[in-house]
Structure 1
């Protein structure tokens, strides 16, 4: 029998902490990838059309999740386990529905001892790092990425979870949520037939709107990096941190290095495999014995990819940063809706995208798997997969799931996600069989918007309640429908603030500034509007005016909510330094509490400030004393750049996070 049950997992974990209270107004400026002209002519038409299509302007309406640190203590995490006689699956519903572990039970061959075998890279700690679109993410397991290129904003967010009857009559775990960057509901159904070692994962994304919406999905699986990665392709599109997309041969590149072995690459990079049309979709990570994990799917999940950290100093430092010293490294094998992660296919109005993925163990002849004949290695794995799990069986399982189980209403919640889906269903009247967003899920963040729906106005401050000084405004939904309602609501300062945020998210930057300026005239609490105007100035290159407004916003908010003060102070110091006003930056930094200034990000600011003050020896002493910027972003180079302004000495390993060739 297969069981689905609640459980707990204890890990050393760094607490996630609170979200950043400031709206995520900063525009995303990533340029479209460059493509070699020799390769462009050979790109599939849909790939050409989708490359660089519909990039995000900002991360609105989400907030940045950057309140974590790097001190880990034992923590108990809620899990849901799916188990039969062959496989045990551990799911983290409160952390994006991540599959933490996939254990093949009592496995082995005649010449090897029987033992339980972990098929994934299972991180022994929970250490958030700034890899998700909105910040906090952690490594290991299988993650579900929806929204836009990058790790989903739900990486460390909760999903709704409940038990649903499976297509085979057993029990199935359903995970679902409302993805807010693209405004789309989705579900992930996981079930394990009683006699099978293969986990089925049915995924569906629905567009309930009357407009087309850009879509994105990649399932990312972490595997030990001492494996060979096999996929049915002879070429791949390589994308590195130089942001160039070029077609390369598989397995060996022009220099002769076999890139199907993650440890053969010096630098981090992506390989998007060019699977031929009609080819069965699969990717495998197999060890020296020819054993390991295979992932396959129905054809809708088109792409397959390998990501490696590389053996360079930066890649090794990142691996250590994401776990603990002495932990083996990992690579990622991935599967997505498009050929590359640089594409965002369109989901038409009322359309849905669905498919079935399967994960489980696979064994093939090791001499063939690791032989020099790439065609034979691929064929050997594909033959083993066909014998263990025929393609037709996967297609049939998908059709049965979609016809009999995908719309089935789930039972009582095992875990609860956010209230944003309930708000959107309330607003739009969407009918979404199988993924209920009950009004009972509406919370404090959604209540002002329920008031706007019901009365046409945002709630006025309670005259009998003392206002919370310096508190951040509640989060703003930014879709067209909400923006339209804000435009017709009474033009109070709070309404002008939220209207400006929605206009900014839509790309109507000039109108957003006008809304914030109107609101500022009569605002009792001015700092939120000043902050928004300061960001607008900063984004448009008005350094001096941005610095003035940041300083004024900080002054007006100071003494209020300490979480806001720290977030606003960090940005204010940064902008003042950029405007070459170190004396004012010092005044702001010195007013922050000591425990805030002791954090790694503020120690780094201190080093920058000391250098701007003409005190390079003191700035070097900050590095020598040591600090860790907990929310250092993927590919970050600022520590190396700052160090190079202080000394010609090599950058110490502790600060080496560069992921591309010098």
Structure 2
């Protein structure tokens, strides 16, 4: 008997760390992104690839905030989940954490098709910090993991298309799909992800649409990121790939093997690396990860989603340590197979004004007789995929879904942010299928709604760290014409800084200082400007004054003020140590709250301070006592560098997060 597809709520209880508060300091510094390349690597590239590599790469996180308030203390926590299920597959989605598909279970065989992380442990891999491993992640925005990795999305029940024909099912007939949608703030683009299971189907269908409602082209980025167990062989219809490692080099390599190593077996590679497969034009787009018996997951799509990629951690100690860091001890490792809009993740594609881009993906089981020779293995897998899910059926399902993409949501299952509602209110955009109602506006949007309504940004009613700054040109224009209060000048300076008008930003912050009731946010912005222009002594002085002002202003030891003191204290310590003002750095350290000083990032800073004070034995003792830097950044090598300053001994395994060979 065929069971009608259904969607239900569920609670998923996992050992989970707390996300904690966001960093309240606006991210003014250039984006710390590890995926840059050298000009010499552009030689010999296809013309469209070379063009897209240089197409408006992201340089700033604004208006998004950094998420670094998480820790590594896990306790059982209930996570809201949505389950979509037929008689063949069960997909579990976390709408409050980026809409991640954390499980895809094939019911007839009982096989989990994805890598399912048994814990929720944020780590510093998203563009804005907090990210977690496992499942299927929807990456939109710019090169890197989306800022929505740990953010809530809107979710609703919507009538599903008839994937075997060409019309939507009637609402209430049992044919529902799960719609996820949000407003991506880095590029100011609304998007949606529609998931459904045709009755009796072994494949989860996913319709994706990204819209550009603006009157200008916008650079666009999308990669669907699928975590699978790493003891797999990865197959894709390609004989070449673009290999990118943490040495920041991009080069064309043969597939499956180069330097005598079969790189399609993730555990064969020594270091972390990306392999972007060169799928020939006209060839069906797909990628699969299969175990030794030939069982596993396949992902395929309509041709718009052209790119395919394998990411491996490698078998060297650094890769192994990262695998442990992201999950529970004793858990098997994972690799990633991905699908994107361009050949590589270093590219951004142009989305024209008033246009949209959409495609259909399908995820399901694949069973292929094991075959060692690459060409035969790929051909056999392609034949099995064609039998299980013909290419024409994917194209037909896409055609059937397109009218449904505009269907208005029915039952609301989860609520995302209010930023989309604010933009729709500002521009009066009509976005069928993805409503952003005014009812979703919250405290974060309230002052900007007031600016939109009255032309004036309201002053805060109580003393607290400043809220988020909107930086898009239309908001910057409104700030420039609003009454020039200190609060408005602060936000205007942030928007001008984002626009590249740094001199004007500094003037706005300096104008605000004489009358500002709160000095530290302005002094901190001016200190960053000093650092970016090479005036490190003046920056250190301003940081010290800002931290002193914050300590006087702080009202309590609650989450909001503690986050501000920790964020500013961390930057102040680094600025003072850079100009060797160790006594002042020690004073800042002593004024931090004890709970902040116990955090791993601050234990690391303590070791740096002790070393600067000429007390290497005490610094070594900090390392020997042990600490975990919860927000250690992907590719960050600070632990190894500081250890090398303390001793000639080999870097302990627990501190080895190296993702590349030592420079020769």
TM-score interval for Structure 1 and Structure 2 normalised by the shorter chain: over 0.9
How far apart, in 1, do the equivalents of 2:535 and 2:466 lie?
Answer: 25
How far apart, in 2, do the equivalents of 1:242 and 1:635 lie?
Answer: 10
SS at match of 1:407: coil
Residues 1:105 and 2:104 aligned together: no
How far apart, in 2, do the equivalents of 1:319 and 1:562 lie?
Answer: 31
Residues 1:324 and 2:324 aligned together: no
* Partner residue, 1:590: 590
* 1:36–1:245 Cα contact (<8 Å) kept: no
* Partner residue, 2:405: 406
How far apart, in 1, do the equivalents of 2:58 and 2:384 lie?
Answer: 41
* Partner residue, 1:426: 425
Measure how far apart 1:184 and its partner are.
0.4
How far apart, in 1, do the equivalents of 2:660 and 2:38 lie?
Answer: 16
Residues 1:23 and 2:26 aligned together: yes
* 2:69–2:563 Cα contact (<8 Å) kept: no
* Partner residue, 2:388: 388
Measure how far apart 1:593 and its partner are.
1.3
* Partner residue, 1:124: 118
Measure how far apart 1:134 and its partner are.
0.4
* 1:142–1:222 Cα contact (<8 Å) kept: yes
* Partner residue, 1:110: none
Measure how far apart 1:563 and its partner are.
2.2
* Partner residue, 2:289: 285
* Partner residue, 1:200: 205
SS at match of 2:142: coil
* 1:222–1:333 Cα contact (<8 Å) kept: yes
SS at match of 1:620: helix
* Partner residue, 1:454: 453
SS at match of 2:262: coil
SS at match of 2:364: strand
* Partner residue, 1:555: 548
TM-score for both structures, normalised by structure 2: 0.95
Measure how far apart 1:526 and its partner are.
1.2
* 1:11–1:125 Cα contact (<8 Å) kept: yes
SS at match of 2:257: coil
How far apart, in 2, do the equivalents of 1:541 and 1:53 lie?
Answer: 28
SS at match of 1:106: coil
Any residues of structure 2 matched to 1:182-193 within 5 Å, and which?
Answer: 182-193=187-198
2:352 to 344, 348, 355: 348
How far apart, in 2, do the equivalents of 1:264 and 1:448 lie?
Answer: 54
Measure how far apart 1:595 and its partner are.
1.1
How far apart, in 2, do the equivalents of 1:336 and 1:540 lie?
Answer: 37
Measure how far apart 1:36 and its partner are.
4.9
Measure how far apart 1:364 and its partner are.
0.9
SS at match of 2:261: coil
SS at match of 1:239: strand
TM-score for both structures, normalised by structure 1: 0.96
Residues 1:162 and 2:130 aligned together: no
How far apart, in 1, do the equivalents of 2:499 and 2:382 lie?
Answer: 46
Measure how far apart 1:412 and its partner are.
2.8
Any residues of structure 2 matched to 1:59-458 within 5 Å, and which?
Answer: 59-107=61-109, 116-168=110-162, 169=169, 170-253=175-258, 255-366=259-370, 368=371, 371=372, 373-402=373-402, 404-458=403-457
CA displacement 1:369-399 (0-9 Å, x = unmatched): xx1x211111000000000000010011001
How far apart, in 2, do the equivalents of 1:506 and 1:270 lie?
Answer: 32
Measure how far apart 1:40 and its partner are.
2.3
* 1:239–1:269 Cα contact (<8 Å) kept: yes
How far apart, in 2, do the equivalents of 1:87 and 1:249 lie?
Answer: 36
CA displacement 1:578-617 (0-9 Å, x = unmatched): 1111111000011111111011111000000000000111
Structure 1: which 5+ residue stretches go unaligned?
A: 108-115
Taking structure 1 as reference, are residues 229 and 36 closer, same or farther at Cα in structure 2, changes over 3 Å only?
A: farther
* 1:57–1:507 Cα contact (<8 Å) kept: no
CA displacement 1:614-638 (0-9 Å, x = unmatched): 0111100000000100000001100
CA displacement 1:388-447 (0-9 Å, x = unmatched): 000010011001101x20000001310010000000000111110000000000000101
* Partner residue, 2:166: none
1:535 to 528, 531, 537: 528
Measure how far apart 1:28 and its partner are.
1.9
How far apart, in 1, do the equivalents of 2:114 and 2:155 lie?
Answer: 22
* Partner residue, 2:510: 517
Taking structure 1 as reference, are residues 25 and 206 closer, same or farther at Cα in structure 2, changes over 3 Å only?
A: same
* Partner residue, 2:172: none
Instruction: Kindly report structure 1 stretches of 4+ aligned residues shifted beyond 6 Å.
Output: none
How far apart, in 1, do the equivalents of 2:269 and 2:562 lie?
Answer: 45
Residues 1:493 and 2:483 aligned together: no
Measure how far apart 1:460 and its partner are.
3.1
How far apart, in 2, do the equivalents of 1:49 and 1:4 lie?
Answer: 43
* 1:33–1:52 Cα contact (<8 Å) kept: no
How far apart, in 2, do the equivalents of 1:440 and 1:85 lie?
Answer: 37
CA displacement 1:234-257 (0-9 Å, x = unmatched): 00000000111000000001x210
How far apart, in 2, do the equivalents of 1:257 and 1:549 lie?
Answer: 53
How far apart, in 1, do the equivalents of 2:79 and 2:322 lie?
Answer: 24
How far apart, in 1, do the equivalents of 2:362 and 2:51 lie?
Answer: 29
* 1:35–1:246 Cα contact (<8 Å) kept: no
* 1:128–1:138 Cα contact (<8 Å) kept: yes
SS at match of 2:496: helix
How far apart, in 2, do the equivalents of 1:460 and 1:11 lie?
Answer: 41
SS at match of 1:558: helix
* 2:18–2:74 Cα contact (<8 Å) kept: yes
Count of residue pairs brought into register by the alignment: 640
How far apart, in 2, do the equivalents of 1:138 and 1:539 lie?
Answer: 31
How far apart, in 1, do the equivalents of 2:241 and 2:137 lie?
Answer: 23
RMSD over equivalenced CA pairs, Å:
1.0
* 2:523–2:542 Cα contact (<8 Å) kept: yes
* 1:235–1:250 Cα contact (<8 Å) kept: yes
CA displacement 1:213-232 (0-9 Å, x = unmatched): 11000000000000000000
* 1:569–1:588 Cα contact (<8 Å) kept: yes
Measure how far apart 1:363 and its partner are.
0.6
2:500 to 507, 518, 529: 507
* 1:241–1:268 Cα contact (<8 Å) kept: yes
Segment drifting more, 302-311 vs 496-505:
496-505
Measure how far apart 1:521 and its partner are.
2.5
Measure how far apart 1:539 and its partner are.
1.9
SS at match of 1:525: coil
How far apart, in 2, do the equivalents of 1:92 and 1:456 lie?
Answer: 38
* Partner residue, 1:113: none
Measure how far apart 1:510 and its partner are.
1.5
How far apart, in 2, do the equivalents of 1:32 and 1:330 lie?
Answer: 25
* 2:524–2:542 Cα contact (<8 Å) kept: yes
Measure how far apart 1:477 and its partner are.
1.1
